[in-house]
Structures are given as C-alpha cells and as structure tokens.
C-alpha cells in the first residue's frame, strides 16, 4: 500500500490516519466498506488476518478469516467455534452467539451445523436477543437433529415464549418441557433435570391455562427425575415434588434442606436454580431468604451478562415486594425492568404488573381490564396475582364481601404457595363479611403452616388471623403477638395491617387513646410504602377517634401528578359534616363486627331517625320547661342568652351536664341544634 494512500480521504475530511485509521462518522466507514468490490474486500480481510495472527490476536484473526471465506470451510468453522467458546468464557454472550452463527454458515450440512445453530440460539437467548435466537431456530433442519438436540430446541422455544409473551408458547410451555425431559431421559440426565425444573416454572406461569396434565402428575414426574442423578438439581426436584405431593408438615423439612442448598450455591449455580428459590421460600413463608437469594441472582446475572435471567428476576422481585406489602419498592423494580427492556430493544415489560397498579391506587376497572388482557396471553399466574391485589384493595376500601367473593374461587382452586398467600386475606374478608366458617378453616391452615415453618412472617400472620376470630378477652393478646412477630420479619405491609386491625379493635373497645397510637403507626407505614387505599382507611379510623389528620400525597404510584398551578401536597378542604358522615359509616360497617346486609343499613337508619325525633321532641319540651322556671327565678335581667348562661353556671365554671337524660336523647339533641344544653365544657 502506498504511503500516501489515505491522502485523498484526509483531504476530503472523511478520515484521519495516525496510529490507526479513524473515519469521521460510522456511516462513512460503512459506506467505504460496502462500496468495495467483494473480491477486493476478501483480499483485505486475508491481509488483516495475517496481521492479527502475527500480533497474537487469534479471535480477531479468525473473524477476518471467516469474512475472507467464500462458501463452506469446516476448518475456519472449527476455529470460529473455539473463538466463540473463549468469548463465552469472558461473558461475551452476544459475541459467542454471532461467532457460532457464522460458524454454522461455514459448516457442511449435518448434525454439527445444527448443533452450532442451537448453541448460537442459546447464547442469544441468554443475552436477551430473542429475535436473533428465533432466527437461529428457524434455520435448523429438524430432520438432522438427534434426540438431545431436539430436546434442547424444545427447551429453548419454551423459554423464548415466556420472554416474548407468546400466548401459545406460554400455554404449551409445560408440555414442551416435559417432552424435552423425555427426549433427554437415558441420554442426558442433567439436561433432563433442567427440563423438569423448567416445566415446574412454566406451570406456575400458566396455572389454569396450562395444556399439560394434572399438577399431581407433574409432581410425580419431578420426584422421578430427582433420582436420575445426584446433585443440586436432584435436591431441588425432590423438594418441589414433596411440595406438590406430601402434606405440608412432611414437605417442610425437605424444602428447608433445598433452601439451605441454594444459600450455599455459588453464583453460577444460583443463575440456574434461582427461580426455584421463589417457590420453596414462599412455601416456607421465608421472605427474608427469598429476597436474599433473588438479590444475589440479580448481581450474578448482571456480572455474567445473562439479561434473560436478570429480566425475570427483577420482575419477580417486583411481585415479591407486593407480597411483603411494599408497593413503593415494587414500583422501583418495575421501572428497572422497563429500563432493561428498553436497553435490549423492547418498549416495555412483557407482562404488566397489574397487582402493583391495584396496590398503588389505580382504578379497579383499569386493573381488571389489564388482568383480563394478561390472561389472554396465557399468563394465568399473573392474572391470579392481579386478582389477589384487587381483593386486598377491596379489603382496604372496606368492601369485604366483594373481596371474599373474589378470593373464594381462587382458594378453592388450590395451587401451592400461590394459595398460601391468599389465605390471610380470606380470613379478614370472611370475618368482616359474615363467612366465619371459611375464615376459621383458612386460619387453621395458617396455624398449621406456622407450626411447621416457624418463621416470624407466618407466625405473625397466624396470630393476626386468630385475633380476628377471637373473643374480645383473647383478641388483644393475639394482636400484640402478631405485631411482635412482624417486627422481626421484613414485611412492612403486614406489620402496618396488624397495627391497623389492632387500632380498629381498640377503638371499638372505647380505648381511643391507645387506638390512636396503633393507627398512627399504621398510617406512617402505609404512607411510606405507598399504599394509598390502606392509608385512607387508617386516616378514617384516626378521625373516628377524634384526631384531625391531613391528607398525605406520596410520590410513588401510577398516577401522582400535581395539578396545573398547584403544589405537590394539595390542600384538603373538608365539608363541615364530612367527619360526622365518616364516623357514622364506620359505625354502621363495624356494628357487631360484621357489615350489615343489603337493605339493613337503610332500615336501621330510618328506625334511628324515628326514635331520635321522638326523643328530640321530648327533650325540647323538657328544656323549654326548665328554661322557663330558671328565668322565673332569675328575673328579667337574665333573659339575654349569654347573661343567662353565665348566671346559671356553677361556681366551678362548668355547665351542668344532663346525665339523667337517655343517651339517645343526647345524640338527638346534637341534630336538633340544642348542643349547648347538654355539653360538658
């Protein structure tokens, strides 16, 4: 090459040549490269291969060798495969996928070419390049695959279906993975166990829409697969099989051993088994270990560049924070998922977390629409979580009968640890809606979990459930016990709900000062975690004790916008009778601990008004008679109301309180405008 070969390009300002050639813009470089004749371009690549090899850059040399090759060249394809393995060892999953794809281009037709395409698709899937992975799978000739390669293709298609939210793939994921496990059986025991673990996760995702057999059949297949070889996967499969097939007290120790194994796993092992940690730790009511393992998985996936696992783990962490009752933390994970998806070329997460919207104050109708759309994509597990979130929202709003009717069919269609998390809400909704028998059955199951597991979380939940069902003389001790257990757990929403229920109970017991302390604690936590519906309920309860509470606007949630011209914390303007109306509504809802049936509140209201009017007329006539006799004794100088009030006040400075009057008459006097006649100041 002549020494002045770059002169024309430098004069035109297109490139500079110093230690290396640099183009003014990447498009200029692309235009120069693509404008070259193909023969000249291959000749340049051959020269660059020699230079790179002489300088000790075999990976770069083999890439130039591949670009210089026309047609099939198995020797260069073998070199590319070695370079791909080296790139994968450095964490370069995208580079590995592209090198393997190029190696497949240069390979002769046959099993080796198909194996390279499968490996390229697997590497692309790890990197989150789902479209590239799908292209590799579409190039595969199924007739050229051996059983193991065919099983790998089935596994990969099932994983990609979850990543891109393909409805048919999601519904058929368990079936595909069980087929893959059958192809691996007797040929690749480790792959068989991986396929079975994937089948369990696919079952959790699709739940009622799954096209495979029964859950019991899956449990038996997992138990069988645990015996094909020893190791960590075997222990995980044995625990999951026990979770499905055995009574809870028998399954708990086996699951606990598997969780201990996961805690001792290194990062590479956790990347493969981290998803199983969710099912096992949630079944054991061990939210602290679950968060610990998932956060470790996030760090390991970030360092390894495994974007598919990172995406899934962040999304699951968002759900877990809702189970712990922290919508604000869940929202932060939702945003991380969206940022990751945008970085790899997707507009948003594959499935919207509708339960987060329910917790954060979105309209219930919108949440139901999103949940139904999610169900159509095959993600029945996400739909179940959304319905659970809506039932919790209904409990927060005091719609206990609606919450019970939403929870009941889901609990009756029991599904492992998913149902476990619905039982505490069924207890509260059942007690408050008059379905005490169902609430009692759910509380008994929670007590069984608490005995077998013994974590602070489930012990607090069980104590709170028993408090809701207990008689007044036993309820307080159980509320205090629940708060103590939740104080040692890491579930802020559960702790706040225990404070709230205890505060409501204290207010009904006429212990308002103690109730205020509990309700203030609940309100502070609900406002901190971004649970506006529960915060509003705690605020109403506080106001019912006589305390004035300002509304609080949180910065988190789906729709926290400041109105034009307004400030971040909007002023709260109350109607004069708003607090009275709220107190009356609370009294009606909690009368006798159960909400009144349809039609009864109005009948009670009319009856109370009729009694009050009768008492008010009787009270008014008695007051007129007493005023007349008092004025006769005092004479004309005390006819002015203020003079009369001072004249009749006793030496202590207090007005007389008509304790001899019936309580109904005293209440009715407030409505008839003679409040001052019976107030003790």
**DSSP three-state, residue 68:** coil
CB atoms within 10 A of CB 484: 14
- The overall average pLDDT reported for the chain is 82
Distance CA 128, CA 415 (A): 30
Distance CA 64, CA 47 (A): 9
Torsion of CA 256, 259, 260, 265, to 10 degrees: 160
According to the model, what pLDDT value does residue 563 have? 31
C-alpha closest to that of 177 among 147, 157, 162, 205 = 157
Residues 6+ apart with CB under 8 A from 41: 33, 67
According to the model, what pLDDT value does residue 153 have? 96
Structure-token pair, residue 84 = 């791909």
User: Could you tell me what percent of the chain has a pLDDT over 70?
Assistant: 79
Residues 6+ apart with CB under 8 A from 484: 460
**CB neighbour class for 33 (10 Å; exposed up to 12, middle 13-18, buried from 19):** exposed
According to the model, what pLDDT value does residue 157 have? 95
The residues with which 323 forms a beta bridge, in sequence order, are none
Q: Which bin fits 533, alpha (ψ -120 to 50), beta or left (φ > 0)?
A: alpha
Distance CA 66, CA 80 (A): 8
C-alpha closest to that of 428 among 456, 449, 453, 399 = 399
CA 31 to chain centre: 48
According to the model, what pLDDT value does residue 31 have? 83
What domains can be seen in the chain, in order of their start residue? Answer: 1-33 (no CATH), 146-229 (no CATH), 246-349 (1.25.40.10), 352-391 (no CATH)
- What are the angstrom distances between the C-alpha of 643 and each of 392, 629, 638, 648? 57, 16, 5, 9
Distance CA 458, CA 101 (A): 51
* Residue numbers in the chain where pLDDT is lower than 70: 1-5, 208-213, 551-681
C-alpha closest to that of 405 among 417, 394, 420 = 394
Distance CA 606, CA 177 (A): 64
- What are the angstrom distances between the C-alpha of 679 and each of 1, 576, 676? 107, 19, 5
CB 444 within 8 A of CB 465: no
According to the model, what pLDDT value does residue 9 have? 76
C-alpha closest to that of 382 among 342, 335, 334 = 334
According to the model, what pLDDT value does residue 440 have? 97
According to the model, what pLDDT value does residue 485 have? 97
Q: What is the largest CA-CA distance in the chain?
A: 129
On whether the pTM is more than 0.85, the answer is: no
Structure-token pair, residue 74 = 């198995």
Report how far apart the first and last C-alpha atoms of the chain are (Å, whole number). 106
Structure-token pair, residue 251 = 């399954």
According to the model, what pLDDT value does residue 655 have? 44
Q: Which residues of 573-608 are buried (b: 16+ CB within 10 A; e: fewer)?
A: eeeeeeeeebeeebeeebeeeebeeeeebeeeeeee
CB 535 within 8 A of CB 527: yes
Q: Which long-range contacts (CB under 8 A, 24 or more apart) does 214-222 make?
A: 215/244, 215/415, 215/416, 216/244, 216/245, 218/174, 218/178, 218/244, 219/243, 219/244, 219/245, 220/245, 221/178, 221/181, 221/196, 222/196
- What are the angstrom distances between the C-alpha of 390 and each of 425, 428, 653? 11, 14, 55
The residues with which 23 forms a beta bridge, in sequence order, are 15
According to the model, what pLDDT value does residue 613 have? 45
Alpha helices, DSSP H, located in 434-547: 436-453, 456-469, 472-488, 492-508, 512-529, 532-544
**DSSP three-state, residue 12:** coil
- Which DSSP category does 30 fall into? H
CB 125 within 8 A of CB 156: yes
């Amino acid at each position: 090459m002549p020494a002045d070969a770059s002169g024309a390009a430098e004069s035109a300002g297109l490139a500079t040549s110093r230690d290396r050639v640099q183009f003014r813009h990447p498009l200029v470089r692309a235009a120069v490269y693509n404008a070259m004749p193909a023969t000249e371009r291959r000749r340049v690549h051959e020269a660059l291969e020699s230079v790179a090899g002489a300088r000790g850059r075999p990976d770069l040399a083999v890439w130039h060798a591949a670009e210089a090759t026309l047609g099939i060249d198995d020797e260069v394809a073998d070199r590319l495969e070695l370079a791909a393995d080296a790139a994968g060892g450095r964490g370069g999953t995208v580079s590995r996928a592209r090198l393997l794809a190029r190696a497949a281009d240069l390979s002769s037709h046959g099993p080796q070419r198909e194996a390279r395409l499968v490996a390229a698709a697997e590497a692309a899937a790890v990197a989150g390049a789902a479209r590239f992975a799908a292209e590799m799978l579409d190039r595969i000739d199924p007739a050229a695959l051996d059983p193991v390669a065919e099983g790998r293709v089935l596994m990969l298609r099932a994983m990609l279906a979850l990543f891109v939210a393909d409805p048919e793939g999601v519904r058929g994921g368990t079936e595909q993975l069980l087929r893959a496990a059958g192809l691996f059986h007797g040929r690749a025991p480790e792959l068989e166990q991986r396929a079975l673990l994937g089948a369990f996760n696919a079952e959790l995702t699709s739940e009622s829409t799954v096209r495979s057999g029964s859950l019991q059949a899956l449990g038996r297949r997992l138990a069988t697969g645990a015996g094909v070889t020893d190791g960590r996967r075997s222990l995980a499969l044995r625990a999951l099989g026990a979770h499905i097939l055995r009574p809870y007290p028998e399954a708990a120790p086996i699951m606990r051993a598997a969780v201990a194994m996961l805690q001792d796993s290194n990062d590479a092992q956790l990347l493969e088994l981290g998803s199983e940690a969710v099912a096992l730790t949630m079944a054991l009511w061990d939210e602290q270990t679950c968060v610990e393992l998932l956060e470790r998985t996030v760090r390991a996936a970030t360092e390894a560049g495994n974007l598919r696992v990172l995406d899934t783990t962040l999304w699951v962490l968002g759900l877990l924070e809702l189970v712990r009752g922290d919508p604000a933390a869940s929202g932060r994970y939702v945003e991380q998922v969206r940022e990751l998806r945008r970085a790899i070329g997707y507009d948003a997460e594959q499935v919207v977390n509708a339960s987060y919207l329910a917790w954060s104050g979105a309209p219930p109708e919108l949440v139901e629409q999103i949940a139904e759309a999610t169900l159509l994509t095959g993600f029945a597990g996400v739909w179940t979580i959304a319905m659970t979130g809506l039932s919790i929202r209904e409990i927060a709003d005091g719609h206990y009968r609606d919450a019970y009717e939403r929870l009941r069919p889901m609990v009756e269609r029991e599904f492992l640890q998913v149902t476990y998390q619905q039982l505490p809400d069924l207890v509260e909704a059942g007690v408050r809606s008059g379905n005490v028998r169902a609430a009692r059955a759910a509380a008994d199951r929670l007590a069984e979990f608490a005995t077998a597991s013994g974590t602070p979380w489930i012990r607090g939940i069980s104590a709170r459930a028993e408090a809701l069902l207990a008689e007044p003389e036993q309820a307080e001790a159980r509320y205090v016990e629940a708060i103590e257990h939740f104080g040692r757990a890491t579930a802020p929403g559960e702790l706040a709900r225990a404070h709230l229920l205890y505060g409501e109970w204290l207010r009904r017991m006429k212990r308002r000062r103690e109730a205020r302390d509990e309700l203030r604690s609940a309100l502070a936590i609900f406002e901190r975690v971004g649970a506006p519906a529960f915060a509003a309920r705690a605020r109403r309860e506080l106001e019912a004790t006589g305390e004035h509470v300002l509304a609080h606007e949180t910065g988190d949630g789906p729709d926290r916008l400041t109105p034009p011209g307004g400030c971040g914390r909007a002023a709260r303007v109350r109607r004069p009778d708003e607090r009275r109306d709220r107190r009356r509504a609370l009294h009606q809802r909690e009368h006798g601990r159960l909400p009144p049936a349809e039609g009864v509140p109005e009948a009670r209201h009319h009856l109370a008004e009729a009694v009050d009017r009768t008492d008010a007329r009787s009270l008014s006539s008695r007051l007129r008679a007493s005023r007349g006799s008092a004025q006769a004794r005092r004479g004309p100088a005390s006819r002015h109301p203020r003079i009369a009030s001072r004249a009749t006040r006793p030496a202590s400075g207090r007005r007389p309180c008509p304790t001899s009057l019936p309580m109904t008459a005293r209440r009715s006097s407030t409505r008839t405008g003679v409040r001052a006649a019976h107030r003790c100041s």
